[in-house]
Amino acid sequence: MFQKVLASFGQGGAKVDAQLTDRAVRPGGPLRGQVVLTGGQVDQEVDGLGVTLLARVEQPGDEGKVELVDLPFQNVNLASNATVRAGQQLTVPFEVHLPWETPITSVLGKYLTGMAVGLQTNLDLSGSVVDPQDIDAVVIEPLPAQHRILDALSRIGFTFKSAALEKSKVAGLDQQLPFFQEIRFGPSQQFAPVFNELAVTFLAGTGTMQVVLDVEKRVRVGKGGGLNAQSRPFIGAFPVDYGRLGAVNWEQQIEGWLREVARPRAIFD
Domain span at residue 87? 2-137
Boundary residue ending a domain (137, 152, 186):
137
Percent of the chain with pLDDT over 90: 67
* Total of domains in the chain: 2
| Mean pLDDT value of segment 51-75 | 90
Domain identity same for 158 and 247: yes
Domain identity same for 152 and 113: no
Q: Are 141 and 26 in contact (CB under 8 A)?
A: yes
Phi, psi of 148 (to 5 degrees): -65, -40
What span, in angstroms and rounded, lies between the C-alpha atoms of 247 and 257? 18
What span, in angstroms and rounded, lies between the C-alpha atoms of 87 and 49? 18
What span, in angstroms and rounded, lies between the C-alpha atoms of 106 and 268? 40
Q: Which residue has the higher pLDDT, 197 or 125?
A: 197
- 103-153 pLDDT per residue, tens: 999 999 999 999 999 999 989 887 563 456 789 999 999 999 999 999 999
In a domain, 178, yes or no: yes
In a domain, 29, yes or no: yes
